[in-house]
Amino acid sequence: MSKYWSDFVHQLEPYVPGEQPKMSKLVKLNTNEHPLGPSPKVLEVIRGEADERLRLYPDPDSSQLKEAIASYYGVQRDQVFVGNGSDEVLAHLFLGFFKQDKPLLFPDITYSFYKVYCGLYQIDYEAVPLDGELAIAVDDYLKPNGGIIFPNPNAPTGRLLPLSEIERLLQANTESLVVVDEAYIDFGGESAISLINRYPNLLVTQTLSKSRSLAGLRIGLAVGDAALIDGLNRIKDSFNSYPLDRIAIAAGAAAFEDREWFDKGCELVISQRDWLDGELDKRGFESLPSAANFLFTRHPQHSGESLAKGLREQGVIVRHFGKPERIADYLRITVGTPEQNQALIETLDTLL
Ligand SMILES: *Cc1c(COP(=O)(O)O)cnc(C)c1O
């Protein structure tokens, strides 16, 4: 604390990211990173970019990356926005679209950064409770609002909302913006990007941190009506006109071009998720159906806290949120490599 802080800094409640431990040899299943490394083609592009051109500012429009994304999804380049991680894209869109008279709606159990941005930008919000199965019920969002945002699949539950339900929401909610945060969509869902030409009230965000295994590079994107993208560009150019560096622009484009590596990585995660789900089930765990690269699970005889602590003592790190009460006994376990998943199960066997 310092007397030089602006008043509002005292009021902020910052996001607490999952731990990035310095020790090696840990089985790290706590922040939903991809078990497979990035595409070798991406790494080759990164090496090729590391030369004297780093003296120059990058393309402020990140055209090469937008081109690759537009072509991957069959949309126009002016329907694409990119940022330094999807967290930055989210920060811009909260400021640009959600500062309204009516409250922003999002699930009570969801990505905890949403609440943090509301604090940062003084946005009024209402947390809408998930239903009894910890699922998003679209009907609960059909009321006056200044915007709606949720991840699909939701985090940390992993539950997927079908595209038909998202479309129903878009049809009923035309007076405010609906943002679908698709950080995990590639692990089992169908992207709502296919709906953007029909719904100007829809914005979809994605990240290269999860399914494209590039969390260390920080690349995120939004796809929607060109007028929405225009609004985001106005914010970006009032904040930092060069958010993506030269290396990230080229590497991000290469990641979208290497479909083969991407498909292989997603298939590995999905098959390992199924395996892990089965093994947990055999041991009495109750897991929510997941379309993401993690499982949200609990054991009827063991508290979430004791399991997380027991795993940690043996070098296996998973995420335990503790709050709210309703999810206090759940663990969020990232799907790792076959070896990591095996180690997790063996360690659990010593604890149960
Ligand atoms: C990981 C995650 C993000 C942030 O992704 P970055 O691009 O790494 O900033 C956004 N939303 C959800 C739901 C996430 O899980």
Banded pLDDT at 323 (limits 50, 70, 90) = confident
Token code pair at residue 155: 């985090």
302: β partners: 299
- Choose one of 81, 111, 152, 205 to mutate for the ligand 1 pocket test, by most ligand atoms within 8 angstroms of C-beta: 111
Calpha distance 47→99 (Å, rounded): 42
- Choose one of 84, 159, 207, 334 to mutate for the ligand 1 pocket test, by most ligand atoms within 8 angstroms of C-beta: 207
Quick one: which H or E segment has residue 126?
Answer: strand 125-128
Pocket of ligand 1, beta carbon within 6 A = 85-87, 111, 151, 155, 181, 183, 207, 209, 215, 220
For the beta carbon of residue 78, count every other beta carbon within 10 angstroms: 14
Give alpha helix (H) positions in 190-286. 226-236, 246-257, 259-282
Banded pLDDT at 17 (limits 50, 70, 90) = confident
220: β partners: 83, 207
Predicted confidence at residue 283, as pLDDT, reads 98
Predicted confidence at residue 177, as pLDDT, reads 98
Q: What number does the ligand 1 atom closest to the CA of 154 have?
A: 13
CATH of domain 40-257: 3.40.640.10
Banded pLDDT at 334 (limits 50, 70, 90) = very high
C-alpha 97: how far from its chain's center?
A: 19
Q: Is the pLDDT of residue 21 over 80?
A: no
Q: Is the pLDDT of residue 22 over 80?
A: no
Token code pair at residue 264: 């292989």
Predicted confidence at residue 226, as pLDDT, reads 98
Predicted confidence at residue 284, as pLDDT, reads 98
Q: Which fold has domain 10-37+260-351?
A: Aspartate Aminotransferase, domain 1 (3.90.1150)
Cis check: omega of the bond before 153, within 30 degrees of 0:
yes
* pLDDT tens digits, 155-214: 999 999 999 999 999 999 999 999 999 999 999 999 999 999 999 999 999 999 999 999
Banded pLDDT at 16 (limits 50, 70, 90) = confident
Q: Is the pLDDT of residue 221 over 80?
A: yes
Predicted confidence at residue 201, as pLDDT, reads 98
Q: How far is the CA of 86 from the centre of ligand 1 (A)?
A: 6
CB 160 within 8 A of CB 188: yes
For the beta carbon of residue 61, count every other beta carbon within 10 angstroms: 16
Q: How far is the CA of 351 from the centre of ligand 1 (A)?
A: 31
Predicted confidence at residue 60, as pLDDT, reads 97
Place of tokens 């809408």: 128
For the beta carbon of residue 168, count every other beta carbon within 10 angstroms: 15
For the beta carbon of residue 181, count every other beta carbon within 10 angstroms: 29
Place of tokens 């399991």: 307
Task: Give the pLDDT mean for 62-74.
Answer: 98
Q: Is the pLDDT of residue 322 over 90?
A: no
The angle at the Cα of 226, spanning 137 to 254, to the nearest 5 degrees, equals 90
Start-end ranges of CATH 3.90.1150.10 in the chain? 10-37+260-351
Quick one: 117 exposed, middle or buried, by C-beta within 10 A (0-12, 13-18, 19+)? Answer: buried
Q: How far is the CA of 2 from the centre of ligand 1 (A)?
A: 31
Q: How far is the CA of 27 from the centre of ligand 1 (A)?
A: 21
Smallest CA separation from ligand 1 atom 2, residue: 183
Smallest CA separation from ligand 1 atom 15, residue: 183
Start-end ranges of CATH 3.40.640.10 in the chain? 40-257
Calpha distance 173→61 (Å, rounded): 31
- Cα dist from 286 to 48, 248, 283, 346, whole Å: 47, 39, 9, 18
* pLDDT tens digits, 30-40: 999 999 999 99
Q: How far is the CA of 229 from the centre of ligand 1 (A)?
A: 19
The angle at the Cα of 39, spanning 35 to 44, to the nearest 5 degrees, equals 135
Predicted confidence at residue 195, as pLDDT, reads 98
* pLDDT tens digits, 241-256: 999 999 999 999 999 9
* pLDDT tens digits, 102-156: 999 999 999 999 999 999 999 999 999 999 999 999 999 999 999 999 999 999 9
Longest dimension (CA), the chain: 59
Q: How far is the CA of 113 from the centre of ligand 1 (A)?
A: 9
- Taking all residues of the chain, what is their mean pLDDT, rounded to a whole number? 96
